[in-house]
Amino acid sequence: MNSDKKFFSKIGTNYLIFGISALILQIIAVTIIGAANPNLINDFNILVILTAFCNYILPFPIFYYLMKKIKVIKLEKQKLSLKTFLIYIATTFTLMWIGNIIGLIITAAIGTVTQTDIANPVQELINSSEIWLNLALISIIGPIFEELFFRKLLIDRSIKYGAKVSIILSATIFAFFHGNLNQFFYAFLIGGFFAYVYIKTGKIIYPIILHIIVNLMGSIVSLFVVESADRIVSGTYGTFDVSFVVIYVIIILVCLLIGLITLSRYKKAKFNGAKTEIALRQPWKTMILNYGMIFFMAFFIFQIVYQLLA
């Protein structure tokens, strides 16, 4: 195995260890708390907190230790204008909706073939947990740690192979790490876009804010929209409900329009300070066909299949 394949194999192995560590930590935490007080395990909110703690906080030192052994290349920093950032917000929502539609179509097709209802674990999480947990974990803590895990720590080490390779690598790992088909496609698209934004600006704060905004809309704002829409349908609505839904729809349509126009005008991006130091002759083969990445993808494909059949 040449040095380039070894690099990507190391990356895949590190993320595999990260994923396995998070799973083991969850099992240990649930076992200990269940033995101490079984009633706590029956509390969905407690389980959500445990899952977040085991997915983000506890594995971070392990993963950081593994990744810090790989050489870092600093990106050149560039400030975004407010106009550009607003366009990035619209583009993020557009990519999310496109990916979400693809995911819904595919899961619906699989459900038709298997004659089973395929649950959306994220939607179940949002609907079943307290709104303050959605705000704290899904909308704030999750985006911060995920951007550190899948953009900052990854791209700072892979950018030597060029922006395109780093973007695809970040998007692929981010998508697989979600472990379910419902999220796979939009996670791939917005993960790639967040990688693009980070490489373009050299500032992780921008993708973090974008990630927070998109999660906030999906986990908090959407709940209020659904409640207002239900009241409108049932005829028990007030002026606020109608105004809220109308404003939400207008925002969606404006973002979709801006996002589609932006994507249609996309040209080959130029990245300041992100020069390709190592050009791969066979990037896909080198990046994916190595032991680390193969085992990493196999581990999460198993989770995706298990989630579909459960």
Q: Tokens representing 64?
A: 């950081």
Contact 82, 165 (CB under 8 A): no
Q: Based on C-alpha coordinates, what's the Rg of the chain?
A: 20
How does pLDDT run along the chain (310 residues), one tens digit per residue? 689 999 999 999 999 999 999 999 999 998 998 888 888 878 888 888 888 999 999 999 999 999 999 999 999 999 999 999 999 999 999 999 999 999 989 988 888 887 777 767 777 777 777 888 888 888 999 999 999 999 999 999 999 999 999 999 999 999 999 988 889 999 999 999 999 999 999 999 999 999 999 999 988 898 889 899 999 998 888 889 999 999 999 999 999 999 999 999 877 666 666 667 888 989 899 999 999 999 999 999 999 988 877 6
- Provide the pLDDT for residue 222: 87
What are the C-alpha distances in Å from 305 to residues 161, 180, 302? 32, 8, 5
Please name the residue that has the structure tokens 């980070």.
198
Cβ-Cβ contacts under 8 Å for 149 (sequence gap 6 or more): 18, 63
- Provide the pLDDT for residue 288: 93
Residue 178 DSSP code: T
* 179: alpha, beta or left? (left if phi > 0; alpha if psi -120 to 50): left
- Provide the pLDDT for residue 124: 72
What are the C-alpha distances in Å from 30 to residues 44, 55, 138, 225? 12, 13, 20, 34
- Provide the pLDDT for residue 1: 66
How many Cα atoms are found within 13 Å in the side-chain-facing hemisphere of 234?
A: 10
